[in-house]
Amino acid sequence: MSANLTAALTVVRPGLFATIQDLGRFGFQELGMPVAGALDPVALRLANALVGNPQGMAGLEIALLGPVLRVDAASVRIAAVGPLAMTLEREGEATRPLEPHRSHSLRQGDLLRLGAVDGASVAYLAVAGGFALAPVMGSLSAYVRAGIGPLGGRPLGQDDRLPLVRDGAPDGPPDEQELELPQPPDYGSGPLRVVLGPQDDRFTEQALATFLSATYHVGKQADRMGLRLEGPALKHRGSADIPSDGLVTGSIQVPGNGQPILLLNDHQTAGGYAKIATVISADLPRTGRLRPGDCLSFQAVTVDEAEAIRRRQEQAIAGWIRAIRPVRPAGGIDLEALYAENLISGTVDIVNGGSDLPLV
């Protein structure tokens, strides 16, 4: 579908730090270009699924406190995934809250207030059809440090217009179109799993044991580039410096002070500190959700184990998407759940006043 140049979401108030992100800008790290992309790709994929988009389509990544957006289109369908407070202001109606983890259809002139993100560092908003913006190096992800991406690669600003591909929500009565996740995604718990290295031999045996047994806290220096961790110092065998080599999202560098730095999506592409371990790809969404003050620990796994964990995660995501269902009307009966019950047994119990005796 071609873009409608007049349809847009207009930024009435920008919030603290909202950027456009897709799943990343791959293939350019050799040129010094970070991948960027969603800190929590699971949430972005699910938000897109709720509005019928391809899973990798760009959405809004909302950090801490979201923007206020005005609908300047005939209608638009949106969905948020993550612990995000939302309210809708519509002319002639009382302000009402909107739930995350489901879709909502908005009308011309509606104000969508995206409030605090509570319980994670980020949440995501997807719009049906996506944004009519030109990709940069094959991606709509904003890399703010270099000003690369849509809107000059910066966070949303006052009066920005986010042009929409569609001028209206997908056809059909809204009550028949809205979809929901039966429950929020489960990111798991426990230690973050890592593969040791590639420079774990640059650390003492005691440092490796400490790294895999201690609890660390996310410090105040935390952003899309990385998280500085605070906890027991890790001692090097000699210098912390190495000849600069490649970095990946999830690399854990340890500079001379012995305090680990966990690199996130906007990390530099090469660095000269020894890396004690790398967070496995399946646990990167958990790292992207961490906030200053959060606690974390680490557990070593093999490469084969990491690959198996990732396969299981993809199976889980596919299952969550298959479980997406139409939203039940307020006060309505979930017939699908009702039909799944043993209605005959339930009828026997009711007629017999709860007795186990059969009907005669």
Q: What is the CATH number of the domain that holds 265?
A: 2.40.100.10
pLDDT tens for each residue of 41-73: 999 999 999 999 999 999 999 999 999 999 999
pLDDT at 167: 85
Q: Among the three residues 177, 206, 229, which one is the final residue of a domain in this structure?
A: 177
**300 and 344 part of one domain:** no
Residue 153 has pLDDT above 90, yes or no: yes
Domain-embedded: residue 93: yes
**292 and 196 part of one domain:** yes
Q: How many domains does the chain have?
A: 3
pLDDT tens for each residue of 302-348: 999 999 999 999 999 999 999 999 997 665 555 554 455 554 444 33
**124 and 99 part of one domain:** yes
Written as six digits, the tokens of 153 are: 């690669």
**83 and 196 part of one domain:** no
Distance (Å, whole) CA 145 – CA 134: 19
Query: Which pLDDT band holds residue 287 (cuts at 50, 70, 90)?
Result: very high
Residue 355 has pLDDT above 50, yes or no: no
Q: How far is CA 139 from CA 5, 25, 118, 122, 356, in A?
A: 20, 5, 28, 20, 63
Across 350-359, average pLDDT: 37
pLDDT tens for each residue of 96-145: 999 999 999 999 999 999 999 999 999 999 999 999 999 999 999 999 99
Nearest to 31 by CA among 140, 152, 137: 137
**135 and 19 part of one domain:** yes
Share above pLDDT 70 across residues of the chain, in percent, rounded to a whole number: 88
**47 and 162 part of one domain:** yes
Query: Which pLDDT band holds residue 164 (cuts at 50, 70, 90)?
Result: very high
pLDDT at 176: 58
pLDDT tens for each residue of 181-192: 999 999 999 999
Query: Dihedrals φ, ψ of 168, to 5°?
Result: -155, 160
Across 89-95, average pLDDT: 93
**98 and 152 part of one domain:** yes
Domain-embedded: residue 156: yes
Domain-embedded: residue 270: yes
**296 and 227 part of one domain:** yes
**63 and 152 part of one domain:** yes
Residue 91 has pLDDT above 60, yes or no: yes
**39 and 144 part of one domain:** yes
Domain-embedded: residue 88: yes
**142 and 288 part of one domain:** no
Q: Residue 267 in contact with residue 34, Cβ under 8 Å?
A: yes
pLDDT at 360: 26
Secondary structure in 3-state letters for the chain: CCCCCCCEEEEEECCCEEEEECCCCCCCHHHCCCCCCCCCHHHHHHHHHHCCCCCCCCEEEEECECCEEEEECCEEEEEEECCEEEEEECCCCCCEEECCCEEEEEECCCEEEEEEECCCCEEEEEECCCECCCCECCECCCEHHHCECHHHHCCCCCCCEEEECCCCCCCCCHHHHCEECCCCCCCCCCCEEEEECCCHHHECHHHHHHHCCCCEEEEEEECCCEEEEECCCCCECCCCEEEEEECCCCEEECCCCCCCEEECCCCCCEEEECEEEEECHHHHHHHHCCCCCCEECEEECCHHHHHHHHHHHHHHHHHHHHCCEECCCCCCCCHHHHHCCCHHHHHHHHHCCCCCCCCC
Give residue 341's domain range: 331-360
Bridge partner residues of 253 (DSSP): 261, 275
Domain-embedded: residue 185: no
pLDDT at 169: 79
Domain-embedded: residue 345: yes
Domain-embedded: residue 33: yes
Residue 177 has pLDDT above 50, yes or no: yes
**115 and 225 part of one domain:** no
Domain-embedded: residue 239: yes
pLDDT at 2: 45
